[in-house]
Amino acid sequence: MNSCQTKIVALLLASVCMTVTCRAQTDPSKSLMTLGQEAAPGVRLIGRIVPPRLTESSGMVASRQFPGVFWSHTDGGGPKKQTLFALDAEGNSLGEFFVGNVAITDWEDIAIDDQKHLYIADTGNNDNRRREVLVHEIDEPVLKTDERVISARRSWRLRWPGEVFDCEAMFIWQGHGYLVSKVFNDARAQIFRFPLTDTKDTVVLELVATTRIESPVTGADISPDGKLLGLVAKSGAFVYRIDGDVARAGKGKPFQTKFRHEHIEACTFVPEGLLVTAESREIYLFTAAAFRQK
């Protein structure tokens, strides 16, 4: 190789290295942030999801009977993605359980009630091809057990009342399940509900509230006392003071913490604020005063 060719190769390698470096700096999934660092005002990185099989955390909810335990799952469906993961707040694994008696098409969120039950939102509808979606109820697993397969106790087949939507957010409150539409093009997110009563029939979802949120909603949670409703979207986190009445989310203006992150997928209330996960493995704590349970 002559000197001219050597210079050309060096320039090409430098160009490739510069491109890779730029991509690494702008891609939030390859964040160089250290734990405890502030990602934005009121937003702090507190952990990263460790279990290798939890590739895209799409939902998270805090246990109400096991302090410090959080339940999460991978986005999508199929046998390899029907695993329920127990984590601590920093993302370390506490256990894994396989959901064995239902076929999940697109698991997008998880919710909890006060009766030791978890709820699986098989509600993903990226191409708007599903006319019906499903929600399954399971008993919250006990960590110190040899039984690692869990089964759904009840299921609900649900249909949107009008236009078909995608849905990645769910919460449970006072005998009802609530789904939040994920819409685009500045359309406002809407909250629908269905009764948690036994039925084999398809249930048509009831519209409860149309919010002011114009960013695609990807996760939801309600505080255990029902005072606060938290929603996360690509533009950050929103918290409504609803005082037990979900319809209030359509009447009031939420408190918003702005934090642009394309991979934000889930949220759950903790005493310190709102815990938020991303499909790119980061765990953030939104610490604004309005997010705290008071």
Q: Are residues 8 and 92 in the same domain?
A: no
- Does 107 lie in the same domain as 5? no
Shared domain check, 278 and 140: yes
Q: What are phi and psi of 230, to 5 degrees?
A: -110, 135
Residues 19 and 143 in one domain: no
CB 285 within 8 A of CB 267: no
Count Cβ atoms below 10 Å from residue 106 Cβ, excluding itself: 22
Question: What pTM was estimated for this model as a whole?
Answer: 0.88
209 bridge partner residues = 191
Dist CA 216 CA 186 (whole Å): 8
Same domain (yes/no): 207, 104: yes
User: What pLDDT is stored for residue 4 in this prediction?
Assistant: 45
pLDDT tens per residue, range 131-155: 999 999 999 999 988 889 999 999 9
Query: In terms of domains, do 188 and 140 share one?
Result: yes
Residue type, 213: I
131 and 1, same domain (yes or no): no
| DSSP state for residue 14 in the 8-state scheme | H
Q: What is the CATH number of the domain that holds 170?
A: 2.120.10
Mean pLDDT on 71-97:
95
